[in-house]
Amino acid sequence: MDNNKYIVMACDCDPDRVQYGGYSYGEKRLIWNGVTKGIPAFLEGVCRLEEYYKCRIPFTWNVRVDDQIKQVFGNADWTIKEYFDIWDNLRKRGDSLCWHPHLWKWNIQNGYWYQEVKAEHWIEECLSSGYSAFKEIVQPEKVFVHAGWCFQNNFTMKILNELGVIADYSALPGMRDDGYRAGKAAFTNSFDWQITPHRPYFPSLNDYRRNAIDNEKAWKLLEIPSFTFKGRFLSSVISAVRNSKKLPGLFGGRLPGYVKLNPTLNPYVFRTLVKAFNKSQRNYVIVYFHADETLKKHSKIRSLENLICNIEILKDKIPGGVFVSFSELYSYLQIDNVNGIE
Ligand SMILES: [Zn+2]
> From the CA of 168, how far away is ligand 1's center (Å)?
14
In a 13 Å sphere around the CA of 37, the CA atoms on its Cβ side amount to 13
187 contact partners, CB below 8 Å, separation of at least 6: 25, 112, 113, 114, 115, 181
- The burial class, CB within 10 Å (0-12 / 13-18 / 19+), for 198 is middle
> From the CA of 336, how far away is ligand 1's center (Å)?
31
> From the CA of 214, how far away is ligand 1's center (Å)?
35
> From the CA of 275, how far away is ligand 1's center (Å)?
27
Measured between alpha carbons, how far is 19 from 298 in angstroms, rounded to an integer? 7
> From the CA of 55, how far away is ligand 1's center (Å)?
29
Measured between alpha carbons, how far is 83 from 88 in angstroms, rounded to an integer? 9
Going from the N-terminus, what domains does the chain have, and what CATH number goes with each?
A: 5-332 (3.20.20.510)
What are 218's strand-pairing partners?
204, 341
> From the CA of 73, how far away is ligand 1's center (Å)?
17
> From the CA of 225, how far away is ligand 1's center (Å)?
17
Each residue's pLDDT tens digit in the chain (342 positions)? 578 899 999 999 999 998 889 998 889 999 999 999 999 989 999 999 999 999 999 999 999 999 999 999 999 999 999 999 999 999 999 999 999 999 999 999 888 899 999 999 999 999 999 999 999 999 999 999 999 999 999 999 999 999 999 999 999 999 998 877 766 666 778 899 999 999 999 999 999 999 999 999 999 999 999 999 987 777 777 777 776 766 655 556 677 788 888 898 889 989 998 999 999 989 999 999 999 998 876 666 778 888 999 999 999 999 999 999 999 999 998 775 444 555
> From the CA of 204, how far away is ligand 1's center (Å)?
25
pTM (2 d.p.): 0.93
> From the CA of 250, how far away is ligand 1's center (Å)?
22
> From the CA of 319, how far away is ligand 1's center (Å)?
31
> From the CA of 217, how far away is ligand 1's center (Å)?
30
> From the CA of 308, how far away is ligand 1's center (Å)?
21
